[in-house]
Structure 1
């Protein structure tokens, strides 16, 4: 049986020495976040900060900091969930006719929340300024809730069956928010809450929202799960938590988990938006200040002994990397059911998740063809880019399973497989004015950018050089060629000073410098960067820089490029401009003074000694 609340989980982890108490006073402004990041990188324990400056509530960090600890927390329910996935039960049918699934695992009995008349969450009231004012990065616009569970219901079909629970950013103070009266709700495009918000505006009715913090650990995971349509997140929280979720609803308000630690209850103002942010985000940069909806706060509830769980969001890997791995473990088997023809999809964490997708599909359209080429792959690629959050990808690299590709999680081997087969004249397919991740500033504006599908199929076309070609030449201003992967060259270019609206003259000059017979063309991919040593140092550096600092339509060039029948391609090397651009957001950087304080905590006799 799973944990009823967060306190049970903490007690269990502490008994197993998977949790450490930090009993010295720590500052929620920068210091606590820096500690959590360092402990996560060290594969360390969960952290309970018992003396939080400016707040009477303890902070819990790094709860999901390792895959081993995450699977331990849900050890009692994982087998049942896997069996349900294997059965491929239709969630809507299961909710409507549970007796029809009598042979399904007992886990299915936990799908339906239970309404109760009272619960610990209603015991106490607070104000926003009494909550931990957690600020993770120096340029953040204020304190944020970093593990919120934002609950809303369909205005036309109220009730949990048509509810949404999502992890949307919540700013508690700063900017122009009226303290204790307003908080900011930042939800990205393609999120379930947006559909319900639009429905409330169209109907002219109040849009009520509850923000849960803490409670059973299953609630936190449920808030980030990409669930099939018809399965509410509250139902999945019951499945994962191993018990029916108990919900309590004060008169005139939405329900809230009886065992939650906190609940901020209110109504989203139908006419008002305010600047929210900046905020250090999962691409490794700040998402800048933009207008987002405002929640008028009505009540702040908390349970006795309430604990405030948090995480830090930044350049991967971070704690949310574990979320992604755990989600894949639970739902990976369903991908072929949702997307026929797809064998595997990998959203690459090191590239910020949404910027880069790798996929393996099928190529069955012309089985009698002498040489396989992308046909069905393009249909499958369109399906992937039309599905949920996968639609936010900028780069999709796809190949058929008939070509026996390597494991999709072996990123270097997958790149090698693609680059050995790709034909840049044929295999690039752009969407030039479309939506990308709200947090990605490489495009032409907020939510705006482009995509490219690189679909490679057939026999191997080339051998990839594992060293720099003899006779390699570079134009003036381009220096320090470094091999990142076989066939992938990083070149340090002049600082970018151009605008998004016109081709960059330095990149055009670089591409025009080479003829079709130049040795450079032995390298199918060339990336122009600000620091080639940094980019070539690790695979993660290459993935992060290239795919977070480029927009396909604006930043892809090529040797011998030409357009034929509106299709763009190139005869020689593909060139990606992955330099920092004037319109990009600034990258996240640690505060040196704060890092020195963390170092002191790790000295002999300190609470982090032997951990980091």
Structure 2
């Protein structure tokens, strides 16, 4: 399977299947678009293209990665095989190809621009200080080692050409530190508007120095075309919608936030400043956005985490079948074929070692870990709290969890069958498979 060329071709495919809807009425990028996206997210709705954005000629698209089904379509697999496709891609990176130009160079703005005049950046929650770029992939280079990096970070737009970025993940944290140690600016390109393969690659858990752009080709099934930036020694995808080229200033911090973040609470920080020098974009560009608390946000973070957890568990429980991070980053559902009574507890302990996982449930392979109903059924009928509950105290906590201090308690639930009583736990099985379209008009 060869993946989609760009965001636009993926949107066309979604529209043909009823997975993308268009909004013709005028919508406001301050609060209103985010409110619509939030309602769509709650209902598991389609991707949506806002064609008439107040004050802009640019359209806004959101909820592209809102379901595993849509992500699976982008990767050419079913929803429950996305994590395995991702793990396969990690093992077989595909070098990208540098070309002379591309659609993202169709318009070039070198001076006299205001970011907020060109990009309809959304303001999301009622307590937010202002507009935030939420689907911008930062591409950067360590000024000391010259190693490349890419990641999605939250970016506050302060106006004119000034942005503030919260560096939440490595290696960006380390690269910023190296730039400040050397007292030199760090080149940064912020790309906006691409299909799921590029977004997933940016969220990958990989060793420092690994070029994440090589994952895009392995996820898509064809090499990625990239082009040199106008003012930076960095390459960006030729088919993205926008590129903001700039420099992250050393030892300069400004107030960032308050902003409602992915865990559902407001946060603030003192964060580095980026000065944008040049903006390039496609003709009639499409601005891509998401809300902080959406399934789209969780999916992009969960899938790389699932891959890492699966590999960690597999080293000790070879019969692990699948791992799913549900709804928020804190919950892991693990499917295993239990060969020994200790397998389920081993899987739980390994999962709970992850700083992201606060609660883990292990089930047998006959339970659908993508169905909360099925997981709860397993807990209701195969779990006893006095012997199958694991509580681990004094574990390092995530600073995004307001219920704990420096340390947290983690919980594991063993909802697997006992090996000695397999027959007692044999599930009811429907006698025939049918196609509903043959019965319902």
1:391 aligns with 2:355: yes
The alpha-carbon distance between structure 1 residues 375 and 293, as it changes in their structure 2 partners (threshold 3 A), is same
1:186-201 counterparts in 2 under 5 A?
A: 186-188=166-168, 190-201=169-180
1:127 aligns with 2:108: no
1:222 aligns with 2:221: no
1:394-409 counterparts in 2 under 5 A?
A: 395-397=358-360
State the secondary structure of the residue aligned to 1:313. Answer: coil
Query: 1:261 Cα deviation (Å)?
Result: 0.8
Query: 1:422 Cα deviation (Å)?
Result: 3.2
Size of the aligned set, in residue pairs, is 405
1:261 aligns with 2:261: no
Match of 2:148 in 1: 163
The alpha-carbon distance between structure 1 residues 449 and 277, as it changes in their structure 2 partners (threshold 3 A), is farther
CA contact 2:71–2:196 (8 Å) conserved in 1:
no
The alpha-carbon distance between structure 1 residues 373 and 21, as it changes in their structure 2 partners (threshold 3 A), is closer
The alpha-carbon distance between structure 1 residues 43 and 251, as it changes in their structure 2 partners (threshold 3 A), is closer
Query: 1:144 Cα deviation (Å)?
Result: 0.8
1:298-337 counterparts in 2 under 5 A?
A: 298-314=277-293, 318-323=295-300, 334-337=311-314
State the secondary structure of the residue aligned to 1:289. Answer: strand
The alpha-carbon distance between structure 1 residues 374 and 330, as it changes in their structure 2 partners (threshold 3 A), is closer
The alpha-carbon distance between structure 1 residues 207 and 418, as it changes in their structure 2 partners (threshold 3 A), is farther
Match of 1:150 in 2: 138
Give the TM-score of the pair, scaled to structure 2.
0.77
The alpha-carbon distance between structure 1 residues 269 and 396, as it changes in their structure 2 partners (threshold 3 A), is same
Q: Deviations over 1:297-329 (max 9, x none)?
A: 222221212100111222x6x333544676588
Q: Deviations over 1:202-230 (max 9, x none)?
A: 34432222111013442122223334677
Match of 1:420 in 2: 385
CA contact 1:45–1:62 (8 Å) conserved in 2:
yes
Query: 1:168 Cα deviation (Å)?
Result: 0.8
Match of 2:432 in 1: none
Match of 1:39 in 2: 40
Q: Deviations over 1:119-170 (max 9, x none)?
A: 2223322531211031121111211112111112233332xxx422211111
Query: 1:14 Cα deviation (Å)?
Result: 3.2
State the secondary structure of the residue aligned to 2:65. Answer: coil
Query: 1:296 Cα deviation (Å)?
Result: 2.1
CA contact 1:60–1:308 (8 Å) conserved in 2:
yes
The alpha-carbon distance between structure 1 residues 422 and 155, as it changes in their structure 2 partners (threshold 3 A), is farther
The alpha-carbon distance between structure 1 residues 166 and 419, as it changes in their structure 2 partners (threshold 3 A), is farther
> Any stretches of 5+ residues in structure 2 without a counterpart?
419-441
Q: Distance in 1 between matches of 2:46 and 2:400?
A: 29
State the secondary structure of the residue aligned to 1:210. Answer: strand
Q: Which of structures 1 and 2 has the larger relative contact order (alpha carbons within 8 angstroms, sep 6+)?
A: 2
Match of 1:172 in 2: 157
Match of 1:212 in 2: 191
> Any stretches of 5+ residues in structure 1 without a counterpart?
95-107, 174-178, 461-612
Q: Which one has the largest radius of gyration?
A: 1
The alpha-carbon distance between structure 1 residues 77 and 376, as it changes in their structure 2 partners (threshold 3 A), is closer
Give the TM-score of the pair, scaled to structure 1.
0.57
Match of 2:438 in 1: none
Match of 1:572 in 2: none
Q: Distance in 1 between matches of 2:30 and 2:139?
A: 27
Q: Distance in 1 between matches of 2:68 and 2:362?
A: 29
Match of 2:434 in 1: none
State the secondary structure of the residue aligned to 2:401. Answer: coil
More strand by share: 2
Residue 116 of structure 1: which of 94, 99, 104 is its match? 99
The alpha-carbon distance between structure 1 residues 428 and 65, as it changes in their structure 2 partners (threshold 3 A), is closer
